[in-house]
Amino acid sequence: MQKIEHIGIAVKNLQESNSLFEKLLGRSHYKTEKVASEHVETSFFRTGQSKIELLQATHPDSAIAKYIEKYGEGVHHVAFAVTDIYAEMERLRKEGFRILNETPKKGADNKLVCFVHPKSANGVLVELCQEISD
């Protein structure tokens, strides 16, 4: 794990939250992206070498919609940058972590991603993400 790549925050209304985080962080989001496969629309803010990713559900079946229904808005996941996601998944499986994906999948922001079940990580939904090289 190289660094905190981003913190994912579940929000109800992306436009309102963009405005709120602009005020909080003192800077604008630099991009938005829809991830159709995950039924989410996202926006990104830079902070140091990490990012804040806001996530709004675009469908009631989205994990974000279900999260908000259960817990309300808030921190949804913490993502760490890795250089070799396959090796990290193998390493974590051997250490006893429950990986939610059989193989990495394409996530937002041009990344290969996988998730570690929060029950095996102190209640934290951990994402691993690796930049996809062009």
Nearer to a second copy (CB atom), residue 31 or residue 93: 93
- Residue 105 CA to residue 9 CA, distance in Å, equals 20
Which of residues 20 and 132 has its CB atom nearest to a second copy in the complex? 20
Residue 23, phi then psi, degrees to nearest 5:
-70, -40
Residue list 57-86, contact with a second copy (CB under 8 A)? 71-75, 78, 80-81
Q: In which residue are the tokens 């190289």 written?
A: 2
Rule CB under 8 A: choose which of 96, 102, 133, 134 binds a second copy.
96
Helix extents (H) in 6-128: 14-25, 63-71, 85-94
Instruction: Please give the angle made by the CA atoms of 10, 23 and 130, to the nearest 5 degrees.
Output: 45
Give the tokens for residue 35: 């991830």
Does position 116 bind a second copy by CB under 8 A? Answer: yes
Annotate each residue in 10-49 with x if it binds a second copy (CB under 8 A) or - if it does not, as one string. xx-----x--xx-xxxx--------------------xxx
* Of residues 33, 67, 66, the one with CA closest to residue 51: 33
Number of residues that bind a second copy (CB under 8 A): 40
- Point out which residues bind a second copy (CB under 8 A): 1-4, 7, 9-11, 17, 20-21, 23-26, 47-50, 54, 71-75, 78, 80-81, 91-92, 95-97, 116, 118, 121-124, 126
